[in-house]
């Protein structure tokens, strides 16, 4: 009974009448017991102890149990199961623009800048179950790897395929940002975000980064910029050997932080610098915290009415009482 809820608990006040019924039945029972006594007559004394006479007390017990169950049925016992459904009340559309230039293979982040970015970006995607995400890659030019979608499996599988060497080399920050803006400009989401990651300076592309930032501002798209690379020197690709394999050597890390800061400031975003894997993870965690999706939790309850169970048992006890009263115990009524 502890798992039951009662829709009409006011009927439990009827239980206050049951003690009166018990007293009345008790007095009636003892008034009806045969009390005829014949001194010295053992035979008649045995008759007064007839088992049927004593078992006749079952009738008021059955009547009391019937009334108890009917009162419980009137109180409408039921069980309930709570269910909840979370929906996005204010979704966020996010496009990640990732630099895939050759310098992203530098090994100051482990195993290299590009692979470290892919690992952290994948975790970021998994932590945004209620948002639409898209992926843009750029080097000397840019293209959309994945358009905005709520199917995060597609985005994660697409992220795994991101690699260096598929497009012309270089660092076209303006092109990467403009392509990301193009994916978001028609979005109806109340919050639109670009996460632009690079490890260098704008040195190619047909669109100036500031012009792309102005487009982002015009379409009310907030841009977070991330500069990836340690301070000073890093083990970076410096050329190819005769087998066309990359040769690594120490090279100066040059990131145009002033440009990235300006892009972020112009679009009401923020600039971050990731000098190692741990800082890169913290940056994505901070962006995740800054761009929280507003969620609405809908709770609903399913009820299973149990009053019929008690009513059926009460009916069965009542029928049992009536059958006993007018058959087995008829001669004692």
pLDDT at 298 over 80: no
**Tens digit of each residue's pLDDT (9 = 90 or more) over 256-279:** 999 999 999 999 999 999 999 999
Lowest mean pLDDT among 79-93, 211-225, 282-296: 79-93
Sheet holding 294-305, edge to edge: 5-6, 77-90, 294-305
Domain that holds residue 321: 5-81+304-332
Describe the crossing of helices 58-74 and 18-32 by its angle, rounded to 10 degrees.
160
- Please indicate, yes or no, if residue 297 is contained in any of the structural domains: no
φ, ψ at 53 (rounded to 5°): -60, -45
142 and 255 belong to one structural domain = yes
Q: Is the pTM of this model over 0.85?
A: no
Alpha-carbon gap, residue 213 to 206, rounded angstroms: 14
Q: Determine the pLDDT at residue 45.
A: 44
**Domain assignment of residue 249, yes or no:** yes
Residue range 10-35: mean pLDDT, rounded: 72
Please check whether residues 189 and 54 belong to one and the same domain. no
Predicted confidence (pLDDT) at residue 289 exceeds the cutoff of 60:
yes
Mean pLDDT of 26-31: 64
Is residue 177 located within the same domain as residue 235?
yes
- Whether 154 and 113 map to the same domain: the answer is yes
Alpha-carbon dihedral angle through residues 296, 299, 300, 306, given to the nearest 10 degrees: 180
Mean pLDDT, residues 168-175: 96
Same domain, 133 and 21: no
Residue 22 and residue 100 share a domain: no
- Residues paired with residue 198 on neighbouring β-strands, in sequence order: 227
Assigned token pair, 324:
């006993």
Residue 144 belongs to a domain? yes
Residue 211 lies in a domain: yes
pLDDT tens readout for residues 42-91: 544 444 445 555 566 677 778 888 888 888 888 888 887 766 565 555 67
3-state secondary structure of 291: coil
Q: Are residues 76 and 104 in the same domain?
A: no
- 182 and 227 share one domain: yes
Please determine, for residue 220, whether its predicted confidence score (pLDDT) is greater than 60: yes
pLDDT at 316: 87
Q: Quick one: pLDDT band at residue 38, thresholds 50, 70, 90?
A: very low
Q: CB count, 10 Å around CB of 220?
A: 14
Helix, coil or strand: residue 68: helix
- Kindly state whether residue 287 falls inside one of the protein's structural domains: yes
In this structure, are 127 and 48 located in the same domain? no
Confidence at residue 70, expressed as pLDDT on a 0 to 100 scale = 87
Number of domains in the chain: 2
pLDDT recorded at residue 157:
97
Pairing verdict, β 132-138 and 5-6: unpaired
Q: Which of 18-32, 81-95, 147-161, 292-306 has the highest mean pLDDT?
A: 147-161
């Amino acid at each position: 009974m502890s798992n039951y809820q009662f829709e009409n608990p006011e009927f439990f006040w009827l239980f206050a009448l049951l003690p009166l019924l018990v007293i009345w039945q008790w007095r009636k029972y003892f008034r009806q017991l045969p009390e005829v006594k014949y001194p010295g007559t053992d035979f008649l004394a045995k008759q007064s102890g007839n088992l049927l006479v004593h078992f006749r007390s079952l009738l008021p017990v059955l009547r009391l149990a019937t009334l108890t169950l009917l009162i419980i049925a009137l109180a409408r016992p039921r069980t309930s199961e709570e269910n909840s459904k979370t929906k996005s009340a204010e979704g966020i559309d996010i496009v990640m623009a990732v630099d895939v230039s050759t310098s992203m293979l530098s090994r100051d982040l482990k195993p290299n800048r590009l692979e470290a970015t892919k690992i952290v970006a994948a975790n970021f995607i998994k932590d945004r179950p209620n948002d639409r995400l898209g992926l843009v890659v750029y080097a000397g030019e840019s293209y959309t790897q994945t358009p905005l979608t709520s199917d995060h499996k597609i985005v994660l599988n697409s992220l795994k395929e991101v690699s260096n060497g598929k497009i012309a080399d270089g660092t076209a920050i303006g092109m990467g940002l403009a392509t990301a803006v193009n994916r978001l400009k028609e979005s109806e989401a109340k919050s639109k975000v670009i996460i632009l990651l690079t490890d260098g300076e704008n040195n190619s592309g047909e669109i100036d980064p500031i012009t792309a930032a102005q487009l982002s501002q015009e379409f009310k798209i907030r841009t977070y910029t991330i500069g990836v690379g340690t301070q000073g020197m890093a083990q970076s690709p410096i050329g190819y050997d005769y087998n066309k394999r990359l040769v690594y050597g120490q090279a100066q890390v040059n990131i145009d932080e002033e440009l990235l800061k300006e892009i972020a400031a112009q679009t009401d975003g923020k600039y971050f610098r990731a000098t190692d894997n741990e800082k890169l993870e913290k940056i994505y965690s901070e962006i995740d915290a800054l761009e929280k999706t507003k969620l609405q939790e809908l709770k609903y309850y399913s009820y299973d009415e149990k009053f019929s169970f008690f009513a059926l048992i009460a009916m069965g006890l009542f029928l049992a009482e009536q059958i006993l009263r007018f058959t087995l115990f008829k001669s004692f009524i």
